[in-house]
């Protein structure tokens, strides 16, 4: 779980770094004003990206479970439970 979180944040940081490089190049080419404050834009991009990616990740996980007919079974049916599927495609109860 910790590795997934690290990779999630690292991916978002790399996207912000890419945005930073592109904006710096546009500023160097004279296409953007040199006094443009980039830091607030980059911080907002990071926060917006993390929130959007997290929401998308949560929705896609639930959608995949529903489409595949999977249901958590096991102790408490919480995050530690197993996914089980019947051979006929219906979720186990």
pLDDT for the residue 36: 85
Query: Using an 8 Å Cβ cutoff, are 44 and 65 in contact?
Result: no
Distances (CA, A) of 17 to 42, 44, 53: 8, 13, 17
Flag whether 37 is in a domain. Answer: yes
84 inside domain: no
Task: Say how many domains are in the chain.
Answer: 1
User: Would 77 be classed as within a structural domain?
Assistant: no
Task: Establish if 90 belongs to a structural domain.
Answer: no
Structural domain of residue 19, as residue ranges? 2-68
Percent of the chain with pLDDT over 70: 74
Residue 77's closest CA among 55, 61, 53, 93? 93
Tell me: pLDDT of 57 over 70: yes
Q: Which of 44-48, 53-57, 78-82 has the highest mean pLDDT?
A: 44-48
Give which of 36, 42, 38, 35 is closest to 14, Cα–Cα: 42
Q: 1 is written with which tokens?
A: 């779980």
Residue 26 lies in a domain: yes
At 28, the pLDDT band (50, 70, 90 cuts) reads very high
pTM assigned to the model: 0.57
The answer to whether residue 13 is domain-embedded is yes
Percentages (nearest 5) of helix, strand, coil residues in the chain: 65, 10, 25
């Amino acid at each position: 779980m910790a590795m997934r979180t690290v990779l999630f944040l690292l991916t978002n940081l790399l996207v912000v770094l890419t945005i930073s490089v592109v904006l710096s190049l546009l500023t160097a080419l004279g296409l953007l004003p040199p006094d443009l404050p980039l830091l607030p834009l980059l911080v907002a991009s990071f926060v917006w990206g993390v929130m959007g990616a997290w929401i998308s990740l949560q929705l896609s996980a639930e959608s995949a479970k529903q489409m595949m007919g999977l249901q958590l079974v096991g102790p408490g049916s919480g995050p530690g439970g197993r996914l089980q599927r019947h051979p006929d495609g219906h979720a186990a109860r």
